[in-house]
Structures are given as C-alpha cells and as structure tokens.
Amino acid sequence: MKIAAEDLAAHLIASPLPAYLVSGDEPLLVSEVVDAIRARARTADFVERKVFFIERANAVWDEVSQEAQALSLFASNRIVEIRMPGGKPGVAGAAALLRLIESAGTDFLLLIVTGQLEREVQSAEWVQALQLRGAYVPIRSVERSRLPHWLRSRFAAAGLTPDDEAIALLAERSEGNLLAAKQEIDKLALLQPGSSVTAAEVAASSADSARFDPFQLVDAVRGSDAARALRILGGLKAEGAEVPWILWHLIREIRMPQARAAGSARPPVARLSARASRADRMAKGLAQGDCWDELALLVVEMTGRRTLSLLRTISYASMPTSTP
C-alpha cells in the first residue's frame, strides 16, 4: 500500500507491517517519518536495529542479506534498516531486496530509506513487492506556496500563536530549510512558551537560513519577481554555488521557446545570451569584472524589469561578498 506522510500516525495505531519504504529529499520530514516507524516497531518488540548504508549499485548485497538474516537463537527481533540515497539498488540489489521483503515480518522489520524515487524506480519489481507486504511512504517537499501553512501548524503544535508578519518573515528566512524553521520554532517555544509571536521576535531570534537552488531562481525569473530572484542569487553565492552551474540553468531558460514568448518586456535573446556569456568569461578569468554582478544584471533583465530603476530600490550590495 501507499501511505501519505500525514496519514502515517493513524496507520501506526495498528500493528506495524513487515516492511516500509520511505523516500524523499526533505531531511526533516523523512527523519520524522522514520522515527515514528521505529518508535512503533519498538513497542512491537523490535528492540534492536541493524543499519546498512548502500552508496553504490554494485554493493555486496549477498553480505547484506546474510547479515540481515543471521539471527542467533536468542537474538531479539530487530529493525533491519537499509539506507540507499540513490534509490537504485541495481540488478543484484533488487533481487536481494525481493528476498528481504519476502522474509521480513517474523524476525525482523525491514525499513528502506531513500532519496526521492524517480518514476521508473517506483514501478520497479522490488517497490511493487514491498507495497504488497508493507507500505511505501513518499515524502513531498513543502512548496513555497504551502510553507506559511506548514509553519503555522508547527507553531500551533509548539503552543505558539504567530501573527501573519511573523509567519511571512520566518517563511522568507527558512525557505528550502525546514529543519532551520523547526529549530527556530522550538527556540521560540522555550523562550516564551504559550505566547503570541511577532515578526520582531522572529527577527531577533532567527538568522537567514534559507537554502536555494537554480530551479528556484528560474521560477522567480519566470514569475517576474526580481526581488526574490536577487535574494536567491545572493543565497546561492553565500552557499558557494558554482557560477557555471547557475548559468547553465539560466541559459536553458533563455533558449526555451515559451520563455522567448513570455512577453515583450524581456530583452531579446541575443542580448541576454551576450550578458550570460560575459558572466561566464568573468567567472573563468577571461574578462574583467565581477561575475556575480553580471549575473545579478542578467536575472533582473530576465524578469523583464528595467535594470537601473530596479537596482535603485533593491540593494544588490546586500548580497554576501565572500563565500564562507
């Protein structure tokens, strides 16, 4: 069966199933689901835990199978946890997982934890077999539009009542980093339990912990949100992102047919491509200038805004000037 993360608590009221697969790229949400499954398994006398880390498809799966099933006569029931970030066990691994899934439930509970599974992997035989004997719990990231609602529910669980400005500020400061948001809420709950929370209190308590990637930058550009695009670019710079990696995504966006038809406000493709090329040469030391300044000008122009008028109201100088 497939179970949504929000329905897991109700599912775990009953006896745990023989096997579980938890997949997702949001560390906090994955960790919370896995912890809940482990806790329920312990109450069902699965008191020991054996963990295997599978970093590559050609891992020695026979050894994993043998060790997982080598239970002594007096051994306690255990959780056999397989952590496989890539989610692709390979041919030998898939066969080993099928054997483990089939034998799980008597002496051990099988718990497989992976990153986000690609569509083709979700239809793999071992995934289908696991859903017949156990449960697949896919974890979806919290989209930016849903982040305020998620934060409000977390505040409520901590016994706090935030105002709208507090929610908006923490959403901005923690975008892409739910763990940091949870830590800030926990901190506020310790400092002022059972009280209301204002934006000033969030500002005093929290640092800017947002994490960004080029996909978010492209989304901001497509949405003509120049201020957010600059903030994401600043975050990428602070995190030490490589300029060629960012440029690859931006150039791809420039060349997409739907982007070219997005509206007359955006400069011609040749002009944007020329600016991207200058940023690339600057990053490689083949041209004078700051590649990050050039990137800032590029993303602003891609939003369809006039560069000079926008930079009078949005300070690019607030972007970090050095990589930590």
Over the chain (324 residues), what is each successive 10-residue block's mean pLDDT?
A: 90 92 92 93 87 74 72 68 87 89 86 90 92 94 88 92 90 83 87 83 73 84 86 85 89 75 67 90 88 90 67 43 36
pLDDT of residue 57: 62
| Residue (of 213, 190, 228) closest to 25 by Cα position | 213
Residues constituting the chain = 324
pLDDT of residue 313: 42
- What structural domains and CATH numbers belong to the chain? 5-138 (3.40.50.300), 144-205 (1.10.8.60), 214-318 (1.20.272)
pLDDT of residue 310: 47
Measured CA distances, 240 to 216, 232, 275, 321 (Å): 16, 12, 21, 11
pLDDT of residue 49: 85
CB 130 within 8 A of CB 36: no
pLDDT of residue 174: 81
CB 189 within 8 A of CB 159: yes
CB 265 within 8 A of CB 300: no
